[in-house]
Chain A
């Protein structure tokens, strides 16, 4: 059986007495785009640092294409984009790309990559003269120039303007179309929903939910019912919120029953039923309903 691009098996990690990850289990299959979501402190960056071998798990194993994370074989299979690009200030972006490319047997063409990311106008500047977004693009390019089968990205689009973000999305899409596997963390739910084939939601160091965005929304089971009413709806409907301009909403796990009840009540008009957005599901999964 072909090993997964990345596999976390029963991984736990503590710092001092604080357990950051508990029995984490998930895989990134070959060619899959997995996004790890979670609130701050959920263990996303720790998972990334374990995957790229910068940290060692207290228990469990992490394997990249069947090799232990951090081993030379594993590092020969992955590129990494850190949350904060930390380059020597006096070195130019182009020097960093050549430096990174030297670590790959068959690197990508630097010129083509810089054109893809529209970086050519600032690549000859020292890093200290680049904006935060430009540094982040250099960081992304340094990982992709290696042209390895797995890329691990820790919040790569944070701080990028819309144009830069779209260029990175395009690069990620093209890489995946060529069969590349991706593990990424992000705080942008819309980004996760648009790009990911698989989402892992972490809450308090555990996997709260995983699957495709559609699966997660479906499995979560809630639907949102929106309606208009001049009077306050009965509490039997569940946790009803809103009320401004007579517009109310209720998120229900049994939408059919709630809808029947609403119709029987007879004072609701303009009734709409819609699946919850990923953002709403996410907030509920981490225990903070919106």
Chain B
């Protein structure tokens, strides 16, 4: 337990001293809402819909940065290798990262909630927001896994631009910035096949108090299974290809 605590604390210290990371993951989604989505949040239901969208956008960002950018940088810098020589289980390394992702994800989601409530009056109860955030965090697991798979293949320098590109494209085309109906027709056609769209569909239904369709959950679960397989495979290939 003390080893897990040491890993969690070190990661928290690492993030707390990196204002660039905190600003981009905590403030960026809420700022984006204020700049581009606020004019469309003119009724409580629209505000709730956009709150769900930007909650998904915020948590997606945390996952891609924690499991993608940070992991790629750790893998390539040698820090991850150094940790693997310590008497620590792989599960401890994983859970410390998951814990920090949860903390950052909840914080980022909280900033979105406060911003949308204050600026647009979404009138979403705190209980519903908590439920939606829990589902958003669970639903983000496939994205975290796919980010971990990609992290094995990108260089430390390329990680930030690569994951930024994925983040922006997947969010936009998945309908997290503007409702799918407002997307250009061609993008909307592609959108239906994107995991971010299915992720959004689940959260939109929850935010509006509607029943979630299982097909979206199933699609996301299938994507998660593929992402898990890709992560395990990329880990094995990465380890086998290490040259000292």
Contact = CB atoms under 8 A, between A and B. Distances in A.
Asked if A pairs with B, the answer is yes
Interface of A: 15, 45-46, 48-49, 52-55, 72, 75-76, 78, 80, 82, 84, 86-88, 90-92, 95-96, 98-100, 102-103, 126
Given A91-B10, A95-B13, A98-B6, A75 B89 contact: no
Contacts of A102: 2-3, 5-6
A92 B85 CA distance: 21
Interface of B: 2-3, 5-7, 9-10, 13-14, 17-18, 77-79, 81-82, 84-89, 242-244
A84 B244 CA distance: 12
B79 A49 contact: no
Instruction: From A45, A53, A72, A99, name the one whose CB has the most chain B CB atoms within 10 angstroms.
Output: A99
B244 A95 contact: no
B243 A90 contact: no
B81 A99 contact: no
Instruction: From A55, A98, A103, name the one whose CB has the most chain B CB atoms within 10 angstroms.
Output: A103
B86 A75 contact: yes
Given A55-B242, A72-B89, A91-B13, A80 B3 contact: no
Instruction: From B7, B81, B86, B89, name the one whose CB has the most chain A CB atoms within 10 angstroms.
Output: B86
A55 B88 CA distance: 17
B244 A86 contact: no
Given A49-B244, A72-B87, A76-B87, A86 B82 contact: yes
12 contacts: A45-B244, A49-B244, A54-B85, A72-B89, A84-B78, A88-B10, A88-B79, A92-B13, A95-B13, A99-B7, A99-B10, A102-B3
B6 A87 contact: no
Contacts of A80: 82, 85
Nearest to A47: B244
A119 B5 CA distance: 25
B10 A95 contact: yes
Question: Main SS of the interface on chain B?
Answer: helix
Contacts of B13: 90-92, 95
Contacts of A54: 81, 84-85, 242, 244
A82 B244 CA distance: 12
A53 B87 CA distance: 11
Which 7 pairs show the lowest CB-CB distances between chains A and B? Answer: A86-B78, A102-B6, A90-B17, A75-B87, A80-B85, A86-B77, A76-B87
A126 B3 CA distance: 22
Contacts of A90: 13-14, 17-18
Given A80-B85, A99-B6, 11 more contacts: A72-B89, A75-B88, A82-B78, A86-B81, A88-B10, A88-B14, A96-B10, A98-B6, A99-B9, A102-B2, A103-B88
A244 B223 CA distance: 76
Contacts of B89: 72
A55 B87 contact: no
B86 A82 contact: no
Contacts of B6: 98-99, 102-103
Contacts of B82: 80, 82, 86
Nearest to A53: B85
A167 B79 CA distance: 25
A108 B196 CA distance: 49
Given A55-B242, A90-B14, A90-B18, A103 B84 contact: no
Instruction: From A53, A76, A91, A100, name the one whose CB has the most chain B CB atoms within 10 angstroms.
Output: A91
Contacts of A86: 77-79, 81-82
B10 A103 contact: no
A99 B78 CA distance: 16
Contacts of A78: 85
Contacts of B2: 102
B17 A91 contact: yes
A75 B85 contact: yes
A88 B18 CA distance: 10
Instruction: From B3, B84, B89, B244, name the one whose CB has the most chain A CB atoms within 10 angstroms.
Output: B244
A280 B85 CA distance: 35
Nearest to B7: A99
A78 B77 CA distance: 22
A103 B3 contact: yes
A55 B18 CA distance: 32
Contacts of B9: 99
Contacts of B81: 54, 82, 86
Contacts of A103: 3, 6, 86-88
A180 to B, nearest CB: 17
Nearest to B80: A86
A96 B230 CA distance: 32
Contacts of A75: 85-88
A55 B243 CA distance: 9
A5 to B, nearest CB: 16
